[in-house]
Structure 1
Amino acid sequence: MEETLTIGAFAKACRLSPKALRLYDELDLLRPARVDPDTGYRYYAAGQLERARLVAWLRRLGMPLAEIRHVCALGPAAAAREIRAHWARVEAETAVRRDLAAFLVDHLTEESRGDLTMNATTLELRYCAHSDRGRVRPANQDTAYAGGRLLAVADGFGPAGAPASSAAVEALRFLDTPEIPAGGVLNLLEDAVQGAARAVRDVADGTDGVGTTLTALLWTGSRLAMVHLGDSRAYLLRDGNLFRITHDHTVVQSMLDEGRLTPEEATCHPQRSLLLKALTGKETTTTPDLRLHDAQAGDRYLLCSDGLSAVVPDDTIERLLTGAPAPDEAVHTLITAANEAGGPDNISCVVADVVEPAP
């Protein structure tokens, strides 16, 4: 007969408290080998120690109990994959919070110096925006906008996708003003996204499957504050090198982050357009990515819908952006490239150059 341990001895051996063991018994996560019918006292088999230690380690990792139950039911190789995927999700969520913390630090530091104002402009934007139906879709559900302070792209979806993307961008138009109102850029962006969410819900009017992505940059005179939801993208071309400054909120991107897919597999995955975050017609709280980017004279920014990024590789985007002398030429060259690649989706591009102000 296999050796049994009292709950106290078992708790000490596996580094779980007796209280935790009683909870895991009730949740059917770690049942005792035997329960005394008279006293109700729990006894555990020595062979259960390995599972108990795994539960303890996973709890220290911060894994939810439901997920631990799933992992414990798997073989070693599959369990290892699930733990790797869990930690990738934790790191992705931590990265979003880290970006927001950095944003807040920068914002409050500059507010304390009193120099975060729109009218202290030292650089300017030269910009162009255009949206194209593409060669396959019967209508254009994208919206692209560029002004002296605001750059935005929204990619609508569902029966009212076009009105949804238009409403989201229109809700941000109040930002395109020479001065930041009282409250600062962070509060402005938060209010703007909430307003865009309400506008999309009004357009959807209860219809399922209606929504839009939203990627926007707000110019402060020396910096660009970014808000991002979905799989539209923002890129920075600096010193001839292209950097993607947004992270796709898609199922496929999360699988890439978790190591479940290779980049090659992701390009042809059937769910590559399935969004994890967007502005939709539902009354839900969606947290956007917020970042603040220092700008330099000579920088070129690109905002685009996935009608461009899904069919034109980043190295081609870099080459075309580098070769176009002005934003309007860059926009039309990129849209032409997407159409020549089949134009399977609507294509929206905003290109903005950071330049010294004219004398």
Structure 2
Amino acid sequence: MELLTIGAFAKASRLSPKALRLYDELELLRPARVDPDTGYRYYAVEQLPQARLVAWLRRLGMPLAEIRTVCALDAAGAAREIRAYWARVEAETAVRRDLAAFLVDQLTVESGDVESRRDHTTMLELRYAAHTDRGHVRPANQDTVYAGRRLLAVADGFGPAGASASGAAVEALRFLDEGEELAAGSVLNVLEDAVRGASEAVHDLAEGGEENGTTLTALLWTGSKLALVHIGDSRAYLLRDGELFRITHDHSVVQSLIDEGRLTPEEAESHPQRTLLLKALGGGMAPLPDLRLHEARAGDRYLLCSDGLTGVVPDERIKELLAGEDAVRTLIAEANAAGGPDNVSCVVADVVPPTHPPVSVE
């Protein structure tokens, strides 16, 4: 067995001697031999492929704990883990990219650009409808919906007190529907604070336990923009110019497996863990919600819904029904026609010029 000094091995593997000493202490990359008198480390030439893999993974930014997992796998398994890690990085980067775009946009407006300021102060209104239905299977309805002049919300409760949990979450946000409209620059902070209050309300209801909880997806109107807050697997969609866009990302086990390339969307439909959530308002620490700001256009139609709809009605059918009249009722009827296995709730809001009085349908 050919041995290399730590200096020669560091140069060949592109890892520093300091890093090699650390990885030895962490039992990630142990030397082949340590001199009993001097403590000097020697490495086998056969260890170079693993050392180079560690170096590459560190350049990717992978945490050492995950590198340890990758190094313990065969080549195929290691490739799957690296693919899954990078999918998570890209998802997190997308969230930061959206925040950066929002900050650039907001600072551009605040810089005094007259045309930008005029564009951002174009006032529109919402015309909305909301309804919730028990479905054909569940003994009770644990969903809560709300639609008002400024606030739209859907919450899907779970556990013995699921109905109370969803109701408490929405109730904690209802104050946002009152008072003056918020400036776009502050609305996300206000929403985040409101969700923290909702989390505390659900936590108090659950008495610290995790068996009760709720999803929460809400839109807050600023007069020209819609601020989105999202936790769980309820969803928000935008229908614009005949195209349907999902503007939320499910915080669920199956969605994470899809993101990581371990599961196809078709396989997810029958996966035994398809109802398990990675994020929800409940008995534990308040999760960080997804927060985004959407530029609204006249003619946009937004849909907020619980998974009682999306679990049985495909997106193409949602697009077709959402474009029609009385969309809330027809979407819920479609879910019930597909068996109605879950509570189903929908809020639909149209962005319109300020000529139509808002109408709420409960």
1:100–1:289: 8 Å Cα contact kept in structure 2? no
1:226–1:290: 8 Å Cα contact kept in structure 2? yes
CA distance in 1: counterparts of 2:212 and 2:103, whole angstroms: 32
Runs of 5+ in structure 1 lacking a partner?
A: none
2:239 — aligned with what?
237
Name the amino acid aligned to 1:86: Y
CA distance in 1: counterparts of 2:337 and 2:38, whole angstroms: 78
CA distance in 2: counterparts of 1:180 and 1:333, whole angstroms: 32
1:122 — aligned with what?
123
1:299 — aligned with what?
300
2:340 — aligned with what?
343
Aligned pairs (5 A) from 1:155-194: 155-180=156-181, 184-194=186-196
Q: 1:108 to 1:227 in 2, by over 3 A?
A: farther
CA distance in 2: counterparts of 1:263 and 1:46, whole angstroms: 44
Q: 1:105 to 1:203 in 2, by over 3 A?
A: farther
Name the amino acid aligned to 1:289: D
Q: Deviations over 1:145-182 (max 9, x none)?
A: 00010100001111211111111111111111251368
- Large movers: runs of 4+ above 6 Å: 114-117
Name the amino acid aligned to 2:236: A
2:316 — aligned with what?
315
1:11 — aligned with what?
10
Name the amino acid aligned to 1:12: K
Aligned pairs (5 A) from 1:1-359: 2-111=1-110, 113=112, 122-180=123-181, 184-282=186-284, 284-324=285-325, 329-358=326-355
Runs of 5+ in structure 2 lacking a partner?
A: 357-362
Question: Alignment partner of 1:185: what SS?
Answer: helix
CA distance in 2: counterparts of 1:245 and 1:17, whole angstroms: 44
CA distance in 1: counterparts of 2:182 and 2:319, whole angstroms: 36
Question: Alignment partner of 2:261: what SS?
Answer: coil
Q: 1:116 to 1:345 in 2, by over 3 A?
A: farther
Identity, in percent, stands at 77
Name the amino acid aligned to 1:290: L
Q: Deviations over 1:293-343 (max 9, x none)?
A: 11111111100000001100111111111122xxxx111111000001011
CA distance in 1: counterparts of 2:291 and 2:132, whole angstroms: 25
Question: Alignment partner of 1:323: what SS?
Answer: coil
Question: Alignment partner of 1:168: what SS?
Answer: helix
- Displacement of 1:109 in angstroms is 4.0
2:360 — aligned with what?
none
Q: 1:181 to 1:238 in 2, by over 3 A?
A: closer
- Displacement of 1:242 in angstroms is 0.9
Name the amino acid aligned to 1:26: E
1:35–1:41: 8 Å Cα contact kept in structure 2? yes
Give the TM-score, by structure 2 length. 0.93
- Displacement of 1:208 in angstroms is 2.7
Figure out how many residues of one structure are paired with residues of the other and give that number: 352
After the TM superposition, which of the residue ranges 7-16 and 176-185 deviates more from structure 2?
Answer: 176-185
CA distance in 1: counterparts of 2:155 and 2:105, whole angstroms: 27
- Displacement of 1:285 in angstroms is 3.9
